Chain A
């Protein structure tokens, strides 16, 4: 039985706009991945615990409220604290280009800004899936 790639799609913070996250979740499902979706208003702690329990390979964070600089690195940090830095974190939403290098430095592997075709996200996942 081939290992299925498992991806957690999460919305940290208070932003309730879930159209993007839901689209990505559905598109990834169509690619054959198992996507765990936990809804809006997730704290960094609950996202990390979920990632651990679900043994996911990736965590995708969607945020449109501007809180990414605080919340994304926090999640990366918590994963590290739990010996889970092998879980790959990527993000998307309303994130200015200038913020991306800092986010990457802090451990967010990729940031997909508005207008990114879904193929790019899929390629990224395939590239980084451990065999």
Chain B
């Protein structure tokens, strides 16, 4: 399978992504094997409120990337229903004209309430695409909430898409989402309030940055009409050039690796503990005990962990 993936075989890549999404048995081995082949791709994160026009924008960016002869992968993340666990994944509808281009690969992912956060699955999917030789990997997700912020932090460059008239621009500006944006896009620039929004965004950017806000460009587009996209594209490449040269890109990737290792470590620790105790089953009991005053949160957990360590030591001695 590894060879086929590196070759860029569509089915192999596709199945590998399913494997990492489903946390299959062979996932870990696969990721480790793919690792040496990674590092060539640049990851763009595109986020913003629903209705901002992200998918339409991505469609136009794909066009521009293909004009540069780049292989493009897109991961479009959408929320799963908290009730049924199912999802309707429709982002690719706006990019479907690229469906038969062999150098474009679009994959829809549902957030699925992943234990490790969908960020984990996305991060692994990126490695698959990276190893398969894609030049640019675009991740698209709605920018509301912690999960999405996690996803976006996987990206080398974050494009935040806003639209005038949504009424909640100020909220978005204050919600910390401004912290993660690298390039700010005012889409539907023909709409009433676009210039005002641009001014507001620039104002907030000035506040947050003591450096000059040249490093965070604010760009106007109308994705539907394909306006302002070339300018956006140029800005993306200028920004990437800058962070490559000032080592910021490298530093960010290392930081991300730190996060990833921490996440894997945490997940694995919990997994090991889970071999000792069926967490899902026991946790109900534990919460009852705490609720009834029979024990306290830290007391309970510390005791369980003590027992766990004892068990490990016992096994060690026996072995």
Contact = CB atoms under 8 A, between A and B. Distances in A.
Interface stretch (B89-97, B143-151, B179-187, B281-289): B89-97
A53 B23 contact: no
Interface class of chain B by DSSP: mixed
Given A1-B114, A37-B93, A54 B86 contact: no
Given A26-B88, A34-B86, A34-B110, A46 B96 contact: yes
Contacts of B115: 1
Interface in A47-64: 49-50, 52-55
Given A1-B22, A1-B23, A39-B93, A29 B99 contact: no
A74 to B, nearest CB: 14
Contacts of B105: 53
A94 interface: no
Contacts of B256: none
Contacts of A113: none
B99 to A, nearest CB: 4
Nearest to A9: B88
A35 B89 contact: yes
B294 interface: no
Given A43-B100, A83-B11, A84-B11, A35 B112 contact: no
Interface stretch (B12-20, B38-46, B62-70, B191-199): B12-20
Give the size range of B's interface with the partner.
20 to 34
Interface in B195-209: none
B72 to A, nearest CB: 12
Contact of B14 (A3, A36, A55): A55
A28 B10 CA distance: 26
A4 interface: yes
Contacts of A46: 96, 99-100
A53 B22 contact: no
B140 to A, nearest CB: 14
Contacts of B108: 34, 36, 54
Interface in A94-108: none
A1 to B, nearest CB: 4
A53 B10 contact: yes
B107 interface: yes
A95 to B, nearest CB: 24
Interface in A11-34: 25-26, 28-34
Given A29-B86, A29-B87, A36-B89, 20 more contacts: A1-B23, A3-B22, A4-B110, A30-B81, A31-B86, A32-B85, A34-B80, A34-B87, A35-B88, A35-B89, A38-B96, A39-B90, A39-B96, A50-B106, A52-B11, A53-B14, A53-B106, A53-B107, A54-B107, A82-B11
21 contacts: A1-B21, A3-B22, A4-B22, A25-B88, A26-B88, A28-B86, A30-B81, A30-B84, A34-B86, A34-B89, A34-B108, A34-B110, A35-B88, A36-B89, A37-B93, A49-B10, A49-B100, A53-B105, A54-B108, A55-B11, A55-B17
Interface of B: 10-11, 14-15, 17-18, 21-23, 80-81, 83-90, 92-93, 96, 99-100, 105-108, 110, 112, 114-115
